Amino acid sequence: MIKLIRFVGLIIQSILIEFLHVFGLVAFVLAAALGYFRAPSWLVPIVGIVCGIVADKFIDQTEVIALLERAASANQRGGFLVIVYIIIVAVGYVAGAYARGAVHRRKIAQATPSPVAKQPQAANLAAKQSQKRKRS
């Protein structure tokens, strides 16, 4: 149990390091766009693996090693970075999908008139009909 807690803490620290680099944020935004535009969910692990390999091979992480030394040493292992980026991309994909749902609900809410607005019209119509009856 303690090893699991340490592993989760290490992953969270690694995600923080990757967000301090701009590339982790770029991967998150890319995944959010995939989720927002309803891309197939099987792209999540593929994008995570590609981002993890790119981060392992091409991104220099020496400027943030002093922040979190254990996580930085774990990030030197390519397999660990792939796991970190799969998690980043999965969370980004879900965030994008929820954002799309929120935008859709907001559009529906704005398109339908509220029932409060209909009540005064009904009251005005009833008042006009009663006035017509009185005149007749």
Tens digits of residue pLDDT in 58-88: 877 666 666 666 666 776 776 788 888 899 9
Q: Does position 50 have pLDDT exceeding 80, yes or no?
A: yes
Q: What is the pTM of this model?
A: 0.68
Domain regions of the chain by residue span: 2-135
Q: Which of 33, 29, 48, 30 lies closest to 100, judged by CA?
A: 33
For the stretch 106-132, pLDDT in tens is 888 888 776 655 555 655 666 666 666
C-alpha distances (whole Å) from 80 to each of 71, 85, 94 are 10, 9, 22
In the structure encoding, which two tokens stand for residue 95, read together?
Answer: 């965030």
| Contact between 57 and 82 (Cβ < 8 Å) | no
Lowest-pLDDT range, 23-27, 29-33, 75-79, 125-129? 125-129
* pLDDT the model gives residue 66: 61
- In the chain, % of residues over pLDDT 90: 15
What does the alpha-carbon distance between residue 91 and residue 30 come to, in Å, rounded to a whole number? 11
* pLDDT the model gives residue 122: 59
